[in-house]
Structure formats: C-alpha cells, structure tokens
Amino acid sequence: MLIDANTVGDVVTVLRLEDFTDPTGREVFLAIRELYLSDEKIDPVTVLHKMEAPSPERRQYLLRVMDETPTTANLREWMAIVREQAGVRAAQSVGLELISEGTVTMEQVREIVGRLNGLIADSPGVECLSMEQGILNFYEELERTPQYVPWGIDFLDSGLTAEASDYVVLGGYPSDGKTALALSMAYHQARSLRVGFFSLETKNSKLFNRVFSSAAQVSGVRIKHRALTERDYDLLACKSEKVRSRRLSLIRSSSMTVEDIASYTRAKRFEVIYIDYLTLIQAPGRTEFEQATYISKALHRFAQDTGVTVVALSQLSRPESGKVKPPTLASLRSSGQIEQDADIVMFVYREEPGRLRSRRILAVEKNKEGETGRVPLLFNGETQTFRVDTNGLIKSKREEPEYKQQSFYELPGSEPLPWEEEYDHIGAAPNT
C-alpha cells in the first residue's frame, strides 16, 4: 500500500485491524485506512504523520517494509497469508485460554470448541465480483460438468440442483416416513459421496437394520424377531458387499450441539450430512422458538462456510382438529427462520391421514434455484422402501407459485424404482 496507493481499496476490504499482531504494523495499517476513508493522499510522509507518535523508529520501519517489497503483483497471495496466519494465532490464543482455565465445565469446552470451529471455517467475509470477472467465471464454469447431489428419485434428480453448501429441510409428521426416506437418500448418495447421518433419537443398530432391510428387501419385522428364512439369509449375503462399500456413517448424537456436529463433520470429511432431527440439537435459548432459530441459522452458516450439504429433518405442526390439508411452509414447527434459511424445503406426508397403508406424497415446497412440485410414493413399511407410484400421478390444480417457480411432475415412462439397482437381487421380484 505504501508503494502503490491503488492497492489500498482491495486491502482494506479484505483485511481487518485484528489480522495484524505486530504493534507497529497494526498502527501503519490503521493510519493508511484512516487516510483512505478520508480521501487523503497516501504515501510514507502522510502515513508517518498520521501515526500517533511519529518517530525515527517508525520512519525506519516504513522504509524497511518498502525496501523489502519489490512489487505489488502478488498482493492477493500476501493477503491470504496474512489472513491464514491471523487465524493460526487466534486458534493458538483460544487453545491457551482453554489450558489456562484450569478446571472447566463441558459447557465451557463446547463454547471454546465452537469458537475454534468458527476460525477453522475461514469465512471469506466480503466478496466482490465485477461483471468482467463474472463473465470469465461463467464461461469457465460452462466447460465443467456440474456435480449436483443425487437423491435416487428421478422427480428430485431432474428438478433439484442441490449443490455443496446448500441447506435442505425435509419435513414430516411423526410416523409418516421421513427418517426412512432420509436414510434411503443418504444410502443412495453414499455411492459417490461421504455421508454422515446424525441421529438424535434412534440407536445406530436400529438405523442400520433399516438400511440393510431396505437394501436386501428383507422384512425388518423378521430381522427384529430373528425369524429369518433361508432365502432371507441369501438375500442379505447377496447385498452385504454392496452395503459395505457405501461411504455412509451412522452417528448417535443425543446430546450434540451444532458446534459438535460441525467438528465431527470436519474430522470425518463428510460431504453431505443428515440431522434427524433439527429441534433435538442442544442449543441456547429459553424457548423452543429461540432454540430452533439459533439452530437453523447455525446450520445454514455452517453449510455456506464449509461447502457441506446439510439436510435437516424437521417435525411439522399438526393441523387443527377436523382440518385435513397438505402441509405448507407455515407448517414447519418451532420457527419461521427454518423456512427463511433453507435453500430447499421438502415434505413427506400421508395422502390419507390416519390410514396405515396410505401412499405418501413427496412435495418440494421451496426450491430457490429450480422448480417445485409433488409426486406420489408407495411405502412398504416392512422393508422401509419407497417407490414412485407411476400409475397414480397426482392431478391437482395448478397455482401461481412463490418466486414465479414452475411446477414439475413425474414424467410418464420414467423409472419407477428410486434406488433401482438396490432391488435387482437374485432375479427376485421386489416386495410390493
């Protein structure tokens, strides 16, 4: 900045005063920033004059840093180094704080770990994109094949362009199948991505039984009662290697906070995480509304800062007695912040509430960068399996959706099996 005043604007929008720990360096940065904001000339003389106490030592400091800086061509790389080292120093300071505390509570540890997570996330802060650079980036991106998160259902794969850093909410009433649907999605995605499934209310062994039952198409009831037939054992053996190869981890997390989930996700390098379910996460706040608001904001920020796709399951508020109608965004329980933060909101619910064998409806109610719509699913509770009901596509009145989005529906002739390969076992017809 001392040898080329044209660089000052770039620097003061990226670096902060706290990024400098050397006292004289911090003083120089502060002087330059004040001159820039006052629209005054910036050179060694004006900077020295602006400093609190101009002295021969400060003058020598300015001359030395100018002498050691041959060019401004590598400005951005240098700023990145300054930010990185500032983060390292801040992390060291937090670590020393933990050591110096002596006897600490787990709550204090969580608070300190949360601060460390924030430092590790390395939030980019202010980003500015010119139209010229935007054009260059646009055409460069066109040369690449986009990698969207796969869901295993044609309806979603063709309509959702979910990417890394998206925050997705899957809502449903109790016992309508949202956990089973989330497990099926996670299992499908684990073929190509590292997926973590955080369960805050169900044991890992029970979740795995569901996954294995669905993959092998073996009755979960017979697994639970240890009443497996010889054919069941053959089906399980046939699918064992395929299940073993999936990069899916089930994490029991009854007392985890958002910060705990973030730390574990980074440690395991998950690319997609599921949280079952959102309001069971431990969070500060006196009311459920305050806690849900905090959790939703924190998950959204975590997704954006790390590039992890976050899928959070959420309970829906029951409609008033006697009123049977499909859920809407207003049905999301506890806080409107969830609706506001989410990039995508999906619901799964019974078409005929109260009827055990009712088909389910999978509805995309919010999709920031695509279409909304719904599709009927047939649910086999015995094997925790969903299938698209291609024989009974939904006919509904088309309404003008929010954000001028278009609705989309299942196309005739499309693949009826969401996880087609999983049912191709020993030539047997899948259960229906």
Structural domains in the chain plus CATH codes: 5-103 (1.10.860.10), 154-423 (3.40.50.300)
| Alpha helix stretches (DSSP H) within 52-174 | 56-67, 75-100, 106-121, 131-142, 154-159
Does a cis peptide bond (omega within 30 degrees of 0) precede residue 294? Answer: no
Q: Is the pTM of this model over 0.75?
A: no
Q: 250 with 208: CB under 8 angstroms?
A: yes
How far is the C-alpha of 345 from the C-alpha of 351, rounded, in Å? Answer: 18
Residue 328 predicted with pLDDT over 60: yes
Q: What does the pLDDT read at residue 321?
A: 61
Query: Any idea of the CA torsion for 148, 149, 153, 157, to the nearest 10 degrees?
Result: -20
* pLDDT tens string 390-405: 776 654 444 444 444 4
21-35, 112-126, 129-143 — most confident range: 21-35
Identify which of 75, 82, 73, 168 has the alpha carbon closest to the alpha carbon of residue 125: 82
The angle subtended at Cα 430 by Cα 425 and Cα 432, nearest 5°, is 165
Q: What does the pLDDT read at residue 277?
A: 81
Identify which of 35, 143, 133, 140 has the alpha carbon closest to the alpha carbon of residue 76: 133
Average pLDDT (154-170) is 89
* pLDDT tens string 269-300: 899 999 988 888 888 888 888 889 999 999 99
Q: What does the pLDDT read at residue 424?
A: 41
Residue 194 CA, chain-centre distance (Å), reads 13
Higher pLDDT, 431 or 375: 375
Residue 27 predicted with pLDDT over 70: yes
